[in-house]
Every structure is written in structure tokens, then in C-alpha cells.
Structure 1
Amino acid sequence: MAENRDIAKSIIDAVGGQENILSAAHCATRLRIMVKDKEKIDNERVEEIEKVKGAFFNSGQFQIILGTGTVNKIYEEVTKLGINSSTKGEQAEEAAKSGSRFQRAIRTFGDVFVPIIPALVATGLFMGLRGLVMQEEILRLFGMTPGDISENFLLFTQILTDTAFIFLPALVAWSTFRVFGGSPIIGLVLGLMLVSPALPNAWGVAGGEVEPLMFMGFIPVVGYQGSVLPAFIAGIVGAKLEKQIRKRVPDAFDLIITPFLTLLIMIFLALFVIGPVFHMVEEYILAGTIAVLEWPFGISGLLIGGLNQIIVVSGVHHVFNMLEISLLESLGYNQYNAIVTCAVAAQGGAALAVGLKTKTKKLKALALPSSLSAFLGITEPAIFGVNLRYGKPFIMGLIGGGVGGFFASIFGLKATGMAITVIPGTLLYLNGQILLYLLVNIIAIATAFVLTWMFGFSDEMLKEQQQ
């Protein structure tokens, strides 16, 4: 087995040598290299290097899939060999200058919402655990009924499950200011202003218990608890406004004038213009999303489950983060997750079939760990390292995802959170749906596995591709 230092040297040589590398960074699974000349990269040579599970050029970076743990060790050796290191954020800034306007917009969208997801993942898990302990069957094991649960305990669980959504505009505005070059703390304060207790509570207004404040006789003003789009747009406008004000204010007065004017102008815009307009837009988007997810006969599950991993490959899947957040905030559950988890599981099933069927040791050593990674919710090693490389396994995985998504839609599965899938995703279905959740995942995996085994891969196909 090659040493990590030798692997690092091989990678550097295969991407055009040290003189072709601007910088290197890494994420959880991938080594990310910024190069001067993309044409000097020998992609096939890179993919033949030991421990490499796949490689592709995306978002202005050459990304080499190495897997969790391994990537940290290889990255350390790469930097020891004289390659400039950079943070993922610094590389993202450089990469943001490349690609079409649409690609840059999608990357920016992801940069805003991805940092918020861990808080929402934790909230979803709390919801799932509360759903589990509140089930009559579980309480009966301890000789209790729902009526025996104390009000203080219920209040404690509400703190765990409601806080992130009550203050969601603050999280969104903070992250948006950060991405668009404003002061994150000003974004945070602006977001908190949108959910100020002085404003009529959005959920109270929606339930008819509270009346909105009316300005100039026709502008309704409410709090924006749980709202996403108004805070996102206000964050963009606010960050740009802050930068313009800072350019025009003398340095001696910057600390006082810039935040004062930014917050003063933005709270008026947010409450009287941006909020009412984009809250209405958000409601239309949410209504359209729910309508699609409720298409009859499992059509939505079939389409979304079948197409999801194509969207992931294209890199525009982060646009759906906002929709999932809106579903959770509005409905208290997320039926999109159950469909997507089938798409993820199916790619793992296809990679598993390749790993078990092939007699090639290197491919077996690549495919089997990649399938496990997919079953833990990370499909990149399976997709880029195995399924897409050989073509048909990826297609069989898409079919498996569609079949699993069809049943997830038919069964009406509803997650209590977002962002985690397959095995970790079981924690989002402790609301009495865990057996059905396991069933749709097994269907997706089995469909992709059988189709790949029978029609999608053989060592003969592998030899033909290599000729």
C-alpha cells in the first residue's frame, strides 16, 4: 500500500505539477485544488491513484474524492510538499468568479443556507425524539399516558424544537450579510428586528388570533417568525447598502454612522416593502411546492426520486434548502426528505452491486466503501467514483430512486427535519413512520442493486470501456 506522501506526490504530478497548482484546500471528503490551466490535468491518471475514489472539475476547482479521514492526511502531505494552502472559503471566493451567472447564483444560495442547516438538523432530531417519547405505545412501557406528561417537560421540548424556527429570519439575515460582504452582526440584529415581540406574531396573525398592524391604511406589518425569503432579500439589500454607506462615511464616524443608517433604512424597507412583497412570493412558492408533492398516484415521488441525483451532479441542489426549510416551518414536517433519501440510498445500492460483482480488486475496494458512504447519506464517492464513471450503474440508481420515491409518496412519509438521509435519517422518522421509512429505503436499494447486477455492470463491460 502506497504511503500518503507518495499518493500526494502522484496527485500533484497528475494535475500538472506544482507549477500548475495555485492552492489546495479540503472539505469533509474531497481535496480541492485550484489550478492555472485546466487542460494540464490528467483526469484518468488521477483516478488510477490509490485511495482516489473519483475526480471531477466543478465550480472552478479540481475536486478529488478521497473520503473522510483520508482527505485530511493527504491534504497535510500535499501542503508539506510546498503547495499553498487556502481555506475552503477563500477558494470559494475565487471559484465564484468562474461559471455562468446562474451557476454563481446557485453557489451563493448554497453559501447562505448551508451554514444554517446544522441548527435545523438538530431541531429535526429533537422533533423526532419528542414524537417518539410522546407515542402512547412508548409511554405505556413506563406505565404512563400522554396526560401524565408535565407541562414543564412540554415547555422544555418546545424550547428545543421551536427556537430555530422562531428566530430563523435572524439566522438567514446573518448568513446573507456574511456572504454578501456586510457585517454579520448587523444582519443578525436586522433579522432579530423582524421577529421583535413588539410586532404582531406571524403565527398568531395566520391563525386569526391577532390582527396585523396597518400602515397608511393598506400595508400590513407583522413579525416574520419562520419566514425565509423576506430575510434573505433584506440581507442582500442590507449588505449592499452597508458597503455603499461605508464608502461615503469618514473613517472617524464609520463605527457610529454606518450601522445606524443601515439598520434605520433597512428596517423601514424590510417591514414596509420587502417583507409584505416577498412574504407573498414565499407563500406562492410554498403553495406550488406542496401542490407538486401532493400530486396523486406517487407521481411526485417518482419524478423527484428519479431526478434528484442528476440535480446533485449539476451542483444546483442547494436551491431546495429553502423549500425544505419553508415546509418544516409551515407544516411542521418535510415530505421532500423521504423522497430524496430513496435517491441517495439507490446510488448506494448500485455501487454495492458493482462492488460485489466485480472481480477487480481496485474497483471492489473503491465501490464497497463508497456504497457504505451513500448509506450514511454521502453519495459523492459512489456517484463520481463508481456509478457515473461506468454510466449504467448511475442510471440504475436513478431508476431505484424513482421507485423508492414513488412508494415514499404513496405512503405519505413525513420527516421531522432535513439534511440527513438513509441510515442517519431514521432519526427523523421516530414519529411512528420508521418501519415504512426503512421499507422504502430497502425498495430503492434493492431495485438499483438488482438492475445493476443484471443489466448495469459486468467485468466484460469494464474491459470494453478500457479498450
Structure 2
Amino acid sequence: MADFKQDAQALLKAVGGKENVSAVTHCATRMRFVLNDPSKADKDAIEDIPSVKGTFTQAGQFQVIVGNKVAEFFNEFTALSGIEGGSKDDVKSAGKKNMNWIQRLMATLAEIFTPLIPAIVVGGLILGFRNVLEAVQFDSLGGTIVESSQFWSGVNAFLWLPGEAIFHFLPVGIVWSITKKMGTTQILGIVLGITLVSPQLLNAYAAPGTAAADIPVWDFGFAQLQMIGYQAQVIPAMLAGFLLVYLEIWLRKVIPEAISMIFVPLFALVPAVLAAHLILGPIGWIIGSWISTVVYAGLTGSFSWLFGFIFGGLYAPLVITGLHHMSNAIDLQLIADFGGTNLWPMIALSNIAQGSAVLAIIYLHRGNKKEEQISIPAAISCYLGVTEPAMFGINIKYVYPFVAAMTGSAIAGLISTTFNITANSIGVGGLPGILSIQDGSWLMFSIAMLVAIVVPFTLTVVFEKRGILTEYKNDNLPIPKLGS
């Protein structure tokens, strides 16, 4: 077992001492602090600690990259400092005091959609595979795979079972996630979500083509309410979910505890279901349609190339602010309304571009063993869709790789929108992202991926060799002009 006592002691001093630590926990590779005064943290001193591989601040938390032995380091740190470690949720809550209202909103969106991403990624891969089976014409087969093989036809039909569960019944997951995030009764969220997609209702996909006279209704005598489902709809589910949780929170305050188990669920769920179908659902559907229509117009209109260039270039900075979490809701709304998303391919390309800039740093600084402990895992992580280690550990630290990655991503984004590259769904946001791309877009997405690899790598090398955005020390390693 490694001895982290000296390094833990140095870290405690460098973060401003015990009195400056409001909360601390750890994840798979990082120590995560909430500091009372973040300005007291000496980043240079922290990054000089042998066990530390980098630092960054995100979501109100000061995060110190330690590596796979972070649990051992954390135990040594808490034993030495006398600070009791908190749970991740406790640290997240404490970290919000260091965030403005926009950051809090984005953090909330992240906490809602993050638990859903594994299922959505699987759904995207399933849709992509089914697309190959049923839509791609093969000359050697004289048609599609499902037309020439009963086995693959059966596989294709079977895969729609989980595919439909993930996307058509997405509101169930959204409402559940909201109740989980807000700490209210999760089963009520699941039930509310089911009432939005129940088989009793007219399917949302069939509603636009159904005559008004044929739409089923609940007839209350003095009024009628249309029985329309909200399959795959994001905004209606979010509005209904938040109404449910705030109703429950309020009711628990006003209803006596002795009868709360009976009446809180009743008076929270039934009004929420009614409001969801009477008010929130229709309003949310309209809002969601407006958002997706505007974004889709930008992605496919006359100036789509400009939209792609700007979004591709600025997506990485959005990740730094946390505003990128809005894209999950927009992607899902685009999928519901248009059968695919033109936005997500640019996100995958941005991730690849960040990884390519790090790859150039690995090449330029080969032999720097300490940096390679950060850069090599960060590059791999980027190519598999997770960019934070690369951006905060390498690219933003040196500045010029970050600029190179943004430039490559902007050009790749321009290609993506110019050629209307479309994904079936959110997928693995790096090199494996091609599996989620619709078959008609594979060639151009491959070209865009090549651009996202070559341009950032080349620009990073050129910037360092020519001293653009850099200054040089005697050891010939770049120091960012804007500071670390």
C-alpha cells in the first residue's frame, strides 16, 4: 500500500487548511473539495505534490486528480486532517453555494439526465444496429438484411422491445429521476411517468395524423379532456415531475405526520396527473416543439454551416460552464419531433477534437512521465466520450491545445451541419459515436471525425513549435500566457 501521509499533509496545507474545507469526498480518480474560500487554494503548490496529477474547478467543487489510488489517499487525508468525509450528494449540495443561479440550473439538469444516459446510449446503439438491418440496401443480398434473413428479421423485431422502452417511455425515467434528485417518493414519480405514456392514451406519434373526432376523451359531463400520450416528450415530463415533487414537499409540511402516509401520496399524485394532462402536458409539448423547431431550423437552414461552426467551436467552453447539459434535453426533443438529432454528432466531434489535442501534447512532451499519467488516460477518456480530464488536466492548463481543439471542432461542426449529419440518438460521445449515426451520414461523419483528429493535432504541434499562445522555459515545455 502506498504511503500518502506526506502528500496528504501537503495537500491539506495547500487547500488552505482544515478551516477552509467545508466538505470533501472522492470519486473514481479525484478528491472533491468544497472550499469556504476557493482563492486560498494554492494550485501551483498542489500540482507540485507527487501524488497529484492535476486540478480543476467544476460545479462549485475544487477537484484534485489523484488517480486510481484516490481511495487510499482520501483515507489518509481524512485521518490526518480530522475532517469527516461526506457523501457525493452532500458535497454536491455544499458545492452549490459557490455557484450562481445559472450554474445551479445546469447542475440540476445534469443530475436529472445523467442517470438516464446509460439507457439512452444503449438505445442509440440499438437504433443504429436496427437501421443497418432494415434500411441499408446490400447489392449482394438483393435488398436489406431483414429481407434476406428470417433470423435477422427476428433479431430486428426483438430489439425494438428495449428500443421502444427506452425512447417511447422516456417520460417515466425523467419523472423518476426528478423525484430521486429532489429526495421525494420515487415510486410516485414512476407512476406519474406511466400515466403520461399509458397504453390507454392515444400514442403521441399517432396524434398529429388522427382526426379530432377520433381522439379518445375523458368525459366529465361538463367538460372533456383528450386522452393523448406524451411518448418521448421531454418538457411535459419535466414540468409534471417538478409539480409532483413540490406538491409532495409542501403537503409534508401541512399534513400531520400521523396521516401523511395516506394523504400526501394521494393529494400529490392525483392533482399532478390531472394537471399534467390538462395544463402542463399541452404547454410543455408546445414549448418543446418551439425549441426543437428553432434549433432544427438553425441546423438545417441556409446558414447551417455557420451554426455548426459556432456550436462546434463553442461546445467545449459550454462544458466548462455546465451549460452543455441543456443539449441532452434538446437532443431528446429533436429525436421525438424529427426522428433524429443533428446536434449530437457535433458533440461527439468536439470530444474527439479535445482528445486529439491531448494526443499532440503526448507526442510533443513524450518522456514527461508525470504529465503522461494525466495525458494518456485523458486522451483515451476523450475518445470514449468524457472530456473533463483532458480539458481541465491538459488543454485549458496550456491554453493553446484548447484553442486548437476548438478550431478543429468548429470545422468538423461546419461539415456536420452542411451535410446534415444525423444521429438516431445520443450515443458514446467519441470515436464509437459513429455507431449512433444514421447510415446515410456515415461517410461524411467519418470525414468529419478525420478533421476532428488531424486539425487539432496539427495545430497543437504548430502552436507549440512556433510559440503561438505560449512562452518557453529552459526545459522547452510551454507555459500558458493566460496562466494555469
TM-score by length of 2: 0.87
Counterpart residue number, 2:408 = 400
Residue 115 (structure 2) pairs with residue 118 (structure 1):
no
CA drift of 1:149 comes to: 3.6
Counterpart residue number, 1:78 = 77
Aligned length: 466
Counterpart residue number, 1:448 = 456
Deviations 1:284-329 (A, max 9, x none): 1111111111133622221111110010111221111101111222
Name the stretch that deviates more: 389-398 or 451-460: 451-460
Secondary structure, in 3 states, of the residue corresponding to 2:201?
coil
C-alpha separation between the residues in 2 aligned to 1:439 and 1:388? 26
C-alpha separation between the residues in 1 aligned to 2:278 and 2:431? 45
Deviations 1:164-215 (A, max 9, x none): 1222111111111222342111111111111122222211112337526387
C-alpha separation between the residues in 2 aligned to 1:212 and 1:28? 51
Give the alignment partner of residue 275 of structure 1, picking from 271, 281, 284: 281
Secondary structure, in 3 states, of the residue corresponding to 1:24?
strand
CA distance 1:252–1:282, shift in 2 (3 Å): same
CA distance 1:342–1:29, shift in 2 (3 Å): farther
Matched-pair contact (CA < 8 Å) for 1:186–1:263: yes
CA distance 1:109–1:302, shift in 2 (3 Å): same
CA drift of 1:452 comes to: 1.4
Give the alignment partner of residue 417 of structure 1, picking from 412, 425, 429: 425
Question: Pairwise mapping of residues 116-155 of structure 1 onto structure 2 (< 5 A)?
Answer: 116-134=116-134, 135-137=136-138, 140=141, 146=147, 148-149=149-150, 152-155=154-157
Secondary structure, in 3 states, of the residue corresponding to 2:55?
strand
Counterpart residue number, 2:215 = 211
CA distance 1:274–1:335, shift in 2 (3 Å): same
Deviations 1:136-156 (A, max 9, x none): 439839996525446654431
Give the alignment partner of residue 232 of structure 1, picking from 232, 238, 244: 238
Counterpart residue number, 1:386 = 394
Name the stretch that deviates more: 72-81 or 42-51: 72-81
C-alpha separation between the residues in 2 aligned to 1:427 and 1:74? 38
Name the stretch that deviates more: 6-15 or 437-446: 6-15
C-alpha separation between the residues in 2 aligned to 1:438 and 1:335? 15
Residue 200 (structure 2) pairs with residue 198 (structure 1):
yes
Matched-pair contact (CA < 8 Å) for 1:357–1:458: no
Counterpart residue number, 2:314 = 307
Counterpart residue number, 1:20 = 20
CA distance 1:131–1:138, shift in 2 (3 Å): farther
C-alpha separation between the residues in 2 aligned to 1:53 and 1:381? 10
C-alpha separation between the residues in 2 aligned to 1:295 and 1:66? 46
CA distance 1:156–1:305, shift in 2 (3 Å): same
Deviations 1:403-447 (A, max 9, x none): 111112223222222152222323323736444333211211211
C-alpha separation between the residues in 1 aligned to 2:36 and 2:408? 40
What amino acid sits opposite 2:413 in the alignment? G
Give the alignment partner of residue 374 of structure 1, picking from 382, 385, 389: 382
Secondary structure, in 3 states, of the residue corresponding to 1:325?
helix
Residue 163 (structure 2) pairs with residue 161 (structure 1):
yes
Matched-pair contact (CA < 8 Å) for 1:22–1:84: no
CA drift of 1:120 comes to: 0.8
**Identity rate, percent:** 31
CA drift of 1:465 comes to: 3.8
CA drift of 1:229 comes to: 0.7
What amino acid sits opposite 2:95 in the alignment? A
C-alpha separation between the residues in 2 aligned to 1:273 and 1:162? 26
C-alpha separation between the residues in 2 aligned to 1:357 and 1:204? 56
Structure 2 gaps of 5+ residues are: none
CA drift of 1:76 comes to: 4.5
C-alpha separation between the residues in 1 aligned to 2:145 and 2:105? 52
Matched-pair contact (CA < 8 Å) for 2:331–2:426: yes
Matched-pair contact (CA < 8 Å) for 2:334–2:340: yes
CA drift of 1:219 comes to: 6.0
CA drift of 1:78 comes to: 3.3
CA distance 1:197–1:366, shift in 2 (3 Å): closer
Matched-pair contact (CA < 8 Å) for 2:179–2:241: yes
Residue 356 (structure 2) pairs with residue 346 (structure 1):
no
C-alpha separation between the residues in 1 aligned to 2:377 and 2:19? 33
Question: Pairwise mapping of residues 48-63 of structure 1 onto structure 2 (< 5 A)?
Answer: 48-50=48-50, 52-63=52-63
Matched-pair contact (CA < 8 Å) for 2:217–2:224: no
C-alpha separation between the residues in 2 aligned to 1:430 and 1:53? 39
CA drift of 1:162 comes to: 1.0
Structure 1 gaps of 5+ residues are: none
TM-score by length of 1: 0.90
Counterpart residue number, 1:291 = 297
Secondary structure, in 3 states, of the residue corresponding to 2:395?
helix
Secondary structure, in 3 states, of the residue corresponding to 1:25?
strand
What amino acid sits opposite 1:268 in the alignment? L
Matched-pair contact (CA < 8 Å) for 1:200–1:212: yes
Give the alignment partner of residue 333 of structure 1, picking from 337, 340, 346: 340
What amino acid sits opposite 1:87 in the alignment? S
Matched-pair contact (CA < 8 Å) for 2:113–2:177: yes
Name the stretch that deviates more: 370-379 or 231-240: 370-379
Name the stretch that deviates more: 78-87 or 436-445: 78-87
Name the stretch that deviates more: 365-374 or 381-390: 365-374
Name the stretch that deviates more: 138-147 or 240-249: 138-147
